[in-house]
């Protein structure tokens, strides 16, 4: 399940597999998100329990029997190798499920393991990319700059795009967007800029003999990189980050211009470039038309988005159907956020359209359609509120004890089957007797 979700994060068109369960009342998205959160917490606690088994813990967890400790101490390397193999997938799932802290925790552990194994190149670049994306979501520019310095010290390679992500995390979206374009120009060998030449901070130069060149009397910095020095996943990451910056600035014209530039890049690049922009451009077009005051065109764009069309809403008192509002969504919380924003936009368009018609006809306002739209928005938000109020980290010790009690009989049975000893009273029974 973890690996299928990690594959879905790479290719959103791929089926999410076991994550998507059937929900009879339309609450399947919330329940599936809850299952995913519990799965990540389960793996977190499992790693703690395995560490307690082969290393021991001072006071947080109960000490295990000597035989169990010996078994796990002997197989310690096997457990650590298994964790290393799934850490990259866990990092992807952490980002996909809206839990960047999970990605950061596994990311630092994976970087330590990669450093100890002297691995460089794309194998180090992708974990760094996922880690800085999580740090960017948490607005931690200093930590990203520290990772850039660590990467330079460890591998001897300067990854300039790390500093660009730090700019985005700091909220300097204009400068970050320009630098993302220049980084893409450097690694693809094509001009990816969507701004005039005087706005660009960096320019790709065909004259690679000099680190600086002049054009019309202006000195510009030249980035000397090759496409082979950057993995395809990082190229896709940079393109999406540039788009995110323009979305954060509400610069809808630049978002559409960037989409066109990426399309040209994919068509004309000498080497295959796999870039999948995850921004819904129908939604961007709807926002642009709404800001321009073109409600008719905004409504037409909203009809192209998933969910219930505002023009077909009635004042009926039927139960709200989440299956129509949230059709087949991935666990990515940004999709849920966009669905909420779309419903709010539908509410605004409906209210403004009705108000204009009523002013022309001089009739009494009828708020039924607006109320229904707002109820639908509240219905979508309900699952997120439930999930945010679900206790997880606050009950850390109780969760570990519960998981420990569930797993210990299996460990004892495994050990006894291998050693031939008679089973003893599990700790879970003694623990349960006190409650």
The token pair at 115 is: 């450093």
Secondary structure class of 391 (helix, strand, coil) = coil
Write out the DSSP string of 311-324: GG-----PPP-HHH
The token pair at 82 is: 């298994």
Q: State the Cα torsion 209-213-215-216 to the nearest 10°.
A: -140
> Which pLDDT does position 319 carry in this prediction?
54
Q: Specify the residue for token string 């291998």.
A: 418
CB of 313 closer than 8 Å to CB of 350 = yes
pTM of the predicted structure, to 2 decimals: 0.76
Q: Specify the residue for token string 């669905």.
A: 339
> Which pLDDT does position 198 carry in this prediction?
41
CB of 40 closer than 8 Å to CB of 94 = yes
CB of 164 closer than 8 Å to CB of 181 = no
Q: Give the containing element (helix H, strand E) for 277.
A: none
> Which pLDDT does position 341 carry in this prediction?
86
Distances (CA, A) of 349 to 25, 127, 253, 295, 343: 28, 43, 21, 6, 10
Q: Specify the residue for token string 């980002």.
A: 95
- Mean pLDDT per 10-residue segment, the chain (435 residues): 74 61 55 83 90 80 83 90 93 91 95 80 84 96 95 87 96 95 90 62 41 40 50 92 95 94 86 85 93 90 75 51 61 80 84 74 61 73 71 47 46 45 40 41
Q: CA geometry: angle at 239 spanning 238 and 245, to 5°?
A: 85
Instruction: Find the helix packing angle between 396-419 and 66-74, rounded to 10°.
Output: 90
Q: Specify the residue for token string 């300039």.
A: 160
Neighbouring C-beta atoms of residue 87, cutoff 10 Å: 21
> Which pLDDT does position 421 carry in this prediction?
47
> Which pLDDT does position 272 carry in this prediction?
75
Instruction: Find the helix packing angle between 160-169 and 141-155, rounded to 10°.
Output: 170
Q: CA geometry: angle at 208 spanning 204 and 211, to 5°?
A: 80
Q: CA geometry: angle at 13 spanning 8 and 17, to 5°?
A: 50
Q: How far apart are CA 336 and CA 378, in angstroms?
A: 12
Q: How far apart are CA 87 and CA 114, in angstroms?
A: 11
């Amino acid at each position: 399940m973890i690996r299928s979700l990690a594959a879905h994060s790479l290719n959103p068109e791929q089926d999410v597999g076991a994550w998507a369960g059937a929900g009879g009342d339309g609450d399947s998205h919330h329940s599936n998100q809850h299952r995913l959160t519990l799965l990540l917490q389960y793996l977190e606690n499992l790693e703690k329990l395995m560490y307690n088994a082969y290393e021991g813990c001072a006071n947080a967890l109960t000490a295990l029997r000597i035989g169990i400790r010996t078994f796990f101490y002997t197989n310690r390397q096997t457990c650590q190798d298994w964790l290393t193999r799934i850490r990259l997938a866990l990092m992807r799932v952490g980002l996909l499920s809206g839990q960047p802290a999970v990605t950061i925790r596994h990311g630092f552990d994976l970087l330590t393991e990669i450093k100890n194994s002297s691995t460089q190149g794309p194998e180090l670049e992708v974990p760094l990319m996922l880690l800085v994306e999580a740090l960017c979501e948490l607005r931690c520019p200093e930590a990203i700059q520290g990772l850039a310095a660590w990467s330079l010290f460890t591998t001897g390679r300067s990854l300039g795009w790390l500093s660009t992500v730090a700019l985005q995390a700091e909220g300097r979206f204009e400068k970050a967007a320009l630098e993302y374009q220049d980084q893409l120009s450097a690694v693809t060998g094509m001009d990816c800029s969507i701004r005039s030449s005087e706005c660009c901070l960096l320019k790709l130069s065909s004259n690679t003999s000099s680190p600086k060149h002049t054009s019309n009397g202006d000195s510009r910095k030249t980035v000397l990189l090759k496409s082979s020095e950057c993995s395809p996943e990082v190229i896709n990451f940079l393109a999406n980050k540039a788009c995110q910056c323009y979305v954060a600035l509400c610069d809808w014209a630049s978002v559409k211009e960037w989409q066109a530039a990426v399309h040209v890049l994919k068509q004309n690049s000498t080497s295959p470039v796999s870039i999948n922009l995850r921004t819904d451009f129908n939604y961007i077009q709807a926002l642009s038309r709404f800001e321009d005051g073109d409600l008719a065109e905004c409504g037409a764009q909203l009809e192209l988005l998933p969910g219930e069309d505002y023009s077909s809403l009635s004042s009926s008192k039927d139960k709200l159907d989440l299956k129509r509002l949230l059709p087949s969504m991935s666990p990515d919380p940004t999709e849920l956020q966009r669905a909420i924003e779309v419903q709010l936009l539908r509410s605004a368009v409906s209210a403004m359209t009705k108000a204009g018609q009523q002013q022309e006809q001089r009739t009494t306002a009828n708020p039924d359609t607006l109320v229904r739209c707002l109820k639908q928005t509240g219905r979508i938000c309900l699952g997120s509120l439930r999930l945010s109020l679900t206790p997880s980290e606050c009950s850390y010790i109780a969760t570990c004890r519960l998981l420990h009690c569930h797993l210990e009989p299996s460990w004892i049975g495994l050990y006894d089957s291998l050693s031939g000893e008679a089973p003893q009273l599990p700790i879970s029974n003694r623990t349960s007797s006190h409650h």
